[in-house]
Chain A
Amino acid sequence: MIAMFDLVMQILKSNQIEIPLIQPVVDSLIEIPVLNALVALILWRPFFAVVVMPGLLVLMIYLLYIIWFERKLTARIQWRVGPLEIARPLRGAIQALADGLRYFFQEAIVHKEAHRPYFIQLPILAFIPVLLPIAFIPAGNVVGIKTPYAIQLIVAFISLIPITIVAIGWASNSRFAFVGSVREALMYVAYEIPFIIAVISMIFLYGSGDPYVVIEKQWIPGAFLNPLAFLVFLIAMLMATSRLPFEIPEADQEIAFGPFVEYSGILFGLVMVLAYEKLYVMALLFTILFLGGWSGPQIALLGDLNAPIWLVIKTLVAISIIAIVRSMYARYRIDQALRMGFSWFLALSVLALVIGAFIGMVI
């Protein structure tokens, strides 16, 4: 038993993240019998990447931040005030936390017509394709699973997400949910092809699907190397996360949150954040492909933490700017969005592919 513990500790200690700033604290904590295993586990690179940064912990903080920020920003542009009364000195900053707590203690009603096992399982199952890409997203030395096909894998997992949403709509067995899932399926075909072509064009451009190579080759941000792919990815990101110009599957005013209409309580809390989590994963990919990933000024004191911090900051800034689109445009009809997706949007992505292949040959 003790030998096994020592072996585990040895494995953990062989791949520790190095942060000079907190090194004295870590050194003192590592002497304490039980805490040392915990500290060694948290600072183990794969664990740190997946659970702390840019993984689940940052994802949680991001969720709390973006829901509040988006509501507040939309409110400001529409001459309203937005969430305010919870934590007034912070202008309602923990509104999302309060909502989450309320969802947690609220009764989750499963209506009679629902396919009960699927109805309850699917919100939880939907997290698998949403959260798995995080294991493959590297941030400098901090990486969960290191593979040269990381970008392809991330895209593959992102493409799986709409299937769970369609399944959620089917399991709800209500007419709004049905309309919502059909819309989701149609939108899925509309954006997925240009989106994948845009990513392929960037892979052509960099000559590899390995994020390390991608970052290395970006002497200027990828957005300037292939602006068309940048534009296509941006619009596909809005479509994929059903943000406002393409908020067709959820369409609050018409079909009352679409596939998720029957959910309540914590199950609603889970499905509500799905689109935000998808946005986070896609924005991480966006940052790596187009904004130079984790490259940025190095601070010696932070050591290995530099790369994740830069990656997360760039991602959050990108998302915050994207959030403004919500309050600028009205919603497209489904036929307009589909016509767009299959006409100029697809053409634009093919053009981006040609440019990407051409520039890829030059550099």
Chain B
Amino acid sequence: MKVEFKANKAEMLRSHIEVIREAFKQAVAPDRVTVEYPRERKKYPPNFRGIILFDPEKCISCFRCAQICPANAIQMTFYEKAWPGIDYTKCIFCHFCVESCPTGALKSTKIHDVAFATMEEMKLRAVQLMKPPEVFREDKVTVEYLIDDKGWKLVRKPEIDELVVEAVLPAGRRKISVCVDPESCLGCRICVELCPSDAIAVDRKANKLKIDAKKCSGCGICVRNCPMRVLELREVS
């Protein structure tokens, strides 16, 4: 097959000159964006989806993380309360658990380079999630991509990026549990017993649920377990 290539002679010459100019420009000051990873580290945003840390003080054992996990990687284990353990053989790092946690007990870190020796070691229990894994840092330089209208470039700063950052709680309205249909309430008190923050009480005289808005963490355990489905999570302004 013969491919006809028609081009203006002047245009061809111009593109040749363009190529030569570009090649010399790149040879002197290349636009390359390679990060020499173990020695340099890219600066990740604070909400980077890395290894997940667990704070038992904040955990209210609401099971939300285990419920929402699409890979079924979180198993709750009973210590003082039910605490989540993460199976990293299954975890897909979607961080739904971190986002769904109403109290911020789970938080993400920028640590993404963790190796495990065996498959068994990848199943982390809650106590192993409490402190960040040991990372051997070789990097002396932090690389940042700067993007503007003209293009993008790399900026290298001789500083070490902190991998464990303060948790950024999802910016949503706070939700609390509300009884929407008191007439249908059976008075079974499952919600009262289940509530991890003791926010629900039964008013015997009025035969009604009393939900303490201050104590309610909006975890939704009562909503899920109500046999009559009269409880609902509602946003509070």
Q: Which residues of A contact B (CB under 8 A)?
A: 73, 76-77, 79-81, 84, 324, 327-329
- On whether the beta carbons of A328 and B19 are closer than 8 Å, the reply is yes
Stretch at the interface among B25-33, B81-89, B122-130, B164-172: B25-33
- On whether the beta carbons of A76 and B30 are closer than 8 Å, the reply is yes
Known: A328-B19, A328-B20. A79 touches B34 (CB 8 A): yes
CA distance A324 to B23 in the complex (A): 7
CB-nearest residue of chain A to B24: A324
Q: Is B138 in the interface zone, CB < 8 Å from A? A: no
- On whether the beta carbons of A328 and B23 are closer than 8 Å, the reply is yes
CA distance A76 to B30 in the complex (A): 6
Known: A328-B19, A328-B20. A76 touches B34 (CB 8 A): no
CB-nearest residue of chain A to B33: A79
State the majority secondary structure of interface residues on A: loop
- On whether the beta carbons of A77 and B23 are closer than 8 Å, the reply is yes
Q: Please give the number of chain B residues whose Cβ is less than 8 angstroms from any Cβ of chain A in the complex.
A: 12
CA distance A329 to B31 in the complex (A): 19
* Residues on the A chain within 8 Å of B32, using CB: 76, 79-81
CB-nearest residue of chain B to A74: B27
* Residues on the B chain within 8 Å of A329, using CB: 19
- What's the nearest-Cβ distance from chain B to residue A6, in Å? 56
* Contact with A80, one of B19, B20, B27, B34 (Cβ below 8 angstroms): B34
Q: Which residues of B contact A (CB under 8 A)?
A: 19-20, 23-24, 26-27, 30-34, 36
- On whether the beta carbons of A81 and B27 are closer than 8 Å, the reply is no
CB-nearest residue of chain B to A325: B23
- On whether the beta carbons of A324 and B33 are closer than 8 Å, the reply is no
- What's the nearest-Cβ distance from chain A to residue B165, in Å? 30
- On whether the beta carbons of A81 and B23 are closer than 8 Å, the reply is no
- What's the nearest-Cβ distance from chain B to residue A84, in Å? 8
* Residues on the B chain within 8 Å of A73, using CB: 27
CA distance A324 to B21 in the complex (A): 11
Number of A-B residue pairs having CB atoms within 8 Å of each other in the complex: 29
- On whether the beta carbons of A79 and B31 are closer than 8 Å, the reply is yes
* Residues on the B chain within 8 Å of A79, using CB: 26, 30-34
- What's the nearest-Cβ distance from chain B to residue A25, in Å? 40
- On whether the beta carbons of A77 and B30 are closer than 8 Å, the reply is yes
- On whether the beta carbons of A76 and B27 are closer than 8 Å, the reply is yes
* Residues on the B chain within 8 Å of A327, using CB: 23
Known: A328-B19, A328-B20. A77 touches B34 (CB 8 A): no
- On whether the beta carbons of A81 and B34 are closer than 8 Å, the reply is yes
Residue among B26, B31, B33, B34 having the largest count of chain A Cβ atoms under 10 Å: B26
CB-nearest residue of chain A to B25: A77
* Residues on the B chain within 8 Å of A84, using CB: 36
CA distance A84 to B33 in the complex (A): 16
CA distance A94 to B9 in the complex (A): 44
CB-nearest residue of chain A to B26: A77
* Residues on the A chain within 8 Å of B31, using CB: 79
* Residues on the A chain within 8 Å of B27, using CB: 73, 76-77, 324
Supplied contacts A81-B36, A329-B19, 18 more A-B pairs, CB within 8 Å: A76-B27, A76-B30, A77-B23, A77-B26, A77-B27, A79-B26, A79-B30, A79-B32, A80-B32, A81-B32, A81-B34, A324-B23, A324-B24, A324-B27, A327-B23, A328-B19, A328-B20, A328-B23
What are 12 A-B residue pairs whose CB atoms fall within 8 Å in the complex?
A: A76-B27, A77-B23, A77-B27, A77-B30, A79-B30, A79-B32, A79-B34, A80-B34, A81-B34, A84-B36, A324-B27, A329-B19
- What's the nearest-Cβ distance from chain B to residue A127, in Å? 32
CB-nearest residue of chain B to A329: B19
CA distance A79 to B32 in the complex (A): 4
CA distance A341 to B192 in the complex (A): 92
Enumerate the 8 nearest inter-chain pairs by beta-carbon distance, A residue then B residue, closest first. A79-B32, A77-B26, A76-B30, A328-B23, A328-B19, A81-B34, A77-B23, A76-B27
CA distance A81 to B26 in the complex (A): 12
CA distance A148 to B161 in the complex (A): 68
* Residues on the A chain within 8 Å of B23, using CB: 77, 324, 327-328
CB-nearest residue of chain B to A321: B24
Residue among A77, A81, A84, A327 having the largest count of chain B Cβ atoms under 10 Å: A77
* Residues on the A chain within 8 Å of B26, using CB: 76-77, 79
- What's the nearest-Cβ distance from chain B to residue A199, in Å? 26
CA distance A215 to B36 in the complex (A): 48
CA distance A165 to B26 in the complex (A): 34
CA distance A324 to B20 in the complex (A): 9
* Residues on the A chain within 8 Å of B24, using CB: 324
CB-nearest residue of chain A to B32: A79
CB-nearest residue of chain B to A84: B36
* Residues on the A chain within 8 Å of B20, using CB: 328
